[in-house]
Amino acid sequence: MKFVSREQDKEVPLVLHPDSFLERRFNIPVIGHPLILPELDEGELKEARADIVKSEKAFPIANGLIHTTGEIERKIPFEKGFPGLRQRLTGTG
């Protein structure tokens, strides 16, 4: 993966939720085993000159003219997430 910058020595900002690097799997009972989803590798991103910014909150970009949405809380009962999708939280099995 390569990030292109106008200046080769300049890092490219990449705003991500802190959970973006967690291991994820998709449990599909029909196939009998979980499907491991590809992971983002923080080391590879940094090696590719990405300036990683981890934020759960809205984050200003474009000199403050635009803000990312940040984490959006699920408040409505039908917002249960994607069935079968799981992520490994730090320190859990």
Q: What would the pLDDT profile of 23-75 be if each residue is shown by its tens digit?
A: 888 888 888 888 888 989 999 999 999 999 999 998 888 888 888 878 878 78
Q: Is the pLDDT of residue 88 over 60?
A: yes
Q: Provide the whole-model pTM.
A: 0.64
Q: Taking a C-beta distance cutoff of 8 angstroms, is the pair 82, 43 a contact?
A: no
* Alpha-helical regions (H) of 1-93: 42-47
Q: Which residues contact 24 (CB under 8 A, 6 or more apart)?
A: 36, 37, 39, 85, 86, 87, 88
Please report which confidence band the pLDDT of residue 93 belongs to, taking 50, 70 and 90 as the band edges: very low
Which tops the pLDDT comparison, 79 or 45? 45
The pLDDT value recorded for residue 27 is 85
Q: Is the pLDDT of residue 3 over 60?
A: no
